[in-house]
Amino acid sequence: MPNTDLTLAPLADPVAASRSHRRRAWTVTGLLVAFMMVNFADKSVLGLAADRIRHDLGLSATGFGLANSAFFLLFSLSGALGGLLADRVRPRWLLLGMAVAWSLTQTPMALGGGVAALVVSRIVLGAAEGPAFPVAQHTALAWFPDHRRNLPGALISVGVTLGVVLAAPGLTWVIEHHGWRAAFAVVAVVGVVWAAAWAALGKDRPARADDPAGGSARDSADDPVNDSADVAAPRPAELHGADAATSPAPSYRRILATRTWIGATVGYFGTYWMIALSLVWVPSYLKDGLGYSASASAAVVAGIWAVNGVALLAQAAATGWLLRRGVGSRWARGRLGGITLLVSAAGCGVLSQTGRGPLTVLLLLVGFGLSGAMSTVAVTSVAELVPQRRRGGALGLMNAAVTLAGLVAPALTGYLIDLRGGAGYGNAVVLAAVLLAVGGVAAVALIDPAADARRLAR
């Protein structure tokens, strides 16, 4: 006999669902911030221990630069492949696999490896870390609608800076008191701890049948992470652009040909050039080029990355404020990010003409610290432009292009130092200023996600 009980099951409490979604979104974001901290602590070891490693392994400046560049040999390729894979495989498992691989690659140097082990381990580490930033951003941004992505996107990037801010003094102390090999052991253990936490708490955003793009006006209206009182009015790009439910997914060829993708990538390339220099050569520049002690150099390096973190958060706040007041993302993202690169370029240009002193420290903070804000601008601009089912690949391909800077910058700077001695550091700073200026002009002139989204939708 059929069931005639017509009693309605109680509906899920939308307020409780909203709170639960919000907690999960920010738990995942917090874990991914820590993920990027571990990522850049891993990268910073060689730069902090540069003089000791060069002495113990008998490396010239060029040889040390090449060893650092080896890290990026597969980094760009794996970044692109990992981003594309994130569109097809659950990012949760990709992130877990990456963290475990990072820890394993630190082991050979912790246990006494030589030059060959250093080069091989850095190549493998680079391959394992290549997809980290785009996959972390893709995973975090999927939990938020477009107009709320600036803060979580910035926080993921701030994880980069926090990793070095904490690693610089902490690992320098380990290196000074226990040797540089102990520093490799420390970062390996930290990676294992993060992997255990992610296995227990990490989640992907649940898929929804009505969520083809993940960031449209529909998200703003019905995603439980939003508060109805703060939902921004839909912008034209949200209604008619790449995130519209009725639009087919554009090809990667069309995405990569947009002015926004090109401008964001060129600007971000300049930022990544500065990241590579900061990780590999700035500690040596402070000690060998300017005569600072190891502890003072570590403090300045931490200061550079702290300024970077403040710049990222300030950019996120300014961009969010402008977007909420109806300012288009061409200004709120592209031109704001481009202006920070131009200010950084000016700082580096003056820095190349100064010696040791307070002004030099200030210029280092401006030139190297402010440039990092472009990383979030680039990611959120592309995320606004591209539907979710193409977002991981688009971010991965951008990451592959910009991280070529990491392949070139360490080796080229080492060559300049061997060729010109202390003056080589100044030449490297001038080159950085030029790249930042080019990136700033490209960002200001080309980034316009709303207009490009409408073109992709045609």
pLDDT in tens, 44-90: 888 888 889 998 999 999 999 998 888 888 887 787 777 677 667 78
Residue 449 contacts residue 384 (beta carbons within 8 Å): yes
d(CA 323, CA 414): 43
Q: Give me the pLDDT at residue 200, please.
A: 87
Residue 401 contacts residue 164 (beta carbons within 8 Å): no
Would you place residue 16 in the very low, low, confident or very high pLDDT band (cuts 50, 70, 90)?
low
Tokens of 283: 């500690």
Q: Say yes or no to pLDDT of 169 above 60.
A: yes
Nearest partner of 387 among 37, 142, 170, 52, judged by Cα: 142
CA distances from 230 to 18, 129, 147, 316 (A): 14, 36, 10, 17
Angle between helices 259-280 and 449-456 (to 10 degrees): 130
The beta strand positions in 5-139, using DSSP E, are: none
Tokens of 400: 């592959």
**Cα within 13 Å of Cα(280), Cβ side:** 33
Tell me the percentage of the chain whose pLDDT exceeds 70. 86
Q: Say yes or no to pLDDT of 208 above 70.
A: no
pLDDT in tens, 215-229: 333 333 333 333 333
Tell me the percentage of the chain whose pLDDT exceeds 90. 42
CA distances from 3 to 7, 10, 11, 164 (A): 11, 18, 20, 63
Nearest partner of 40 among 135, 162, 141, 152, judged by Cα: 162
Q: Give me the pLDDT at residue 405, please.
A: 93
Query: By CB neighbour count within 10 A (0-12 exposed, 13-18 middle, 19+ buried), where does 11 fall?
Result: exposed
Nearest partner of 84 among 430, 315, 389, judged by Cα: 389
Q: Give me the pLDDT at residue 333, please.
A: 94
Q: Give me the pLDDT at residue 171, please.
A: 92
Comparing 94-98, 365-369, 390-394, 445-449, the range with the smallest average pLDDT is 390-394
d(CA 269, CA 272): 5
DSSP for 230-245 reads GPPPPPHHHHHSTT-T
pLDDT in tens, 126-168: 888 888 887 888 888 888 877 777 788 878 878 888 888 888 8
**Cα within 13 Å of Cα(276), Cβ side:** 32
Tokens of 65: 């630069």
Domains of the chain, each with CATH number or no CATH: 21-203+233-456 (1.20.1250.20)
Would you place residue 17 in the very low, low, confident or very high pLDDT band (cuts 50, 70, 90)?
low
Q: Say yes or no to pLDDT of 353 above 80.
A: yes
Would you place residue 182 in the very low, low, confident or very high pLDDT band (cuts 50, 70, 90)?
very high
Tokens of 124: 């493998």
* Mean pLDDT, all residues of the chain: 83
Q: Which residue has the higher pLDDT, 263 or 279?
A: 263
Q: Give me the pLDDT at residue 223, please.
A: 39
User: According to the per-residue pLDDT averaged within each range, which of 11-25, 276-290, 387-401 is highest?
Assistant: 276-290
Instruction: Write down the pTM of the prediction.
Output: 0.74
pLDDT in tens, 281-297: 999 888 888 888 888 88
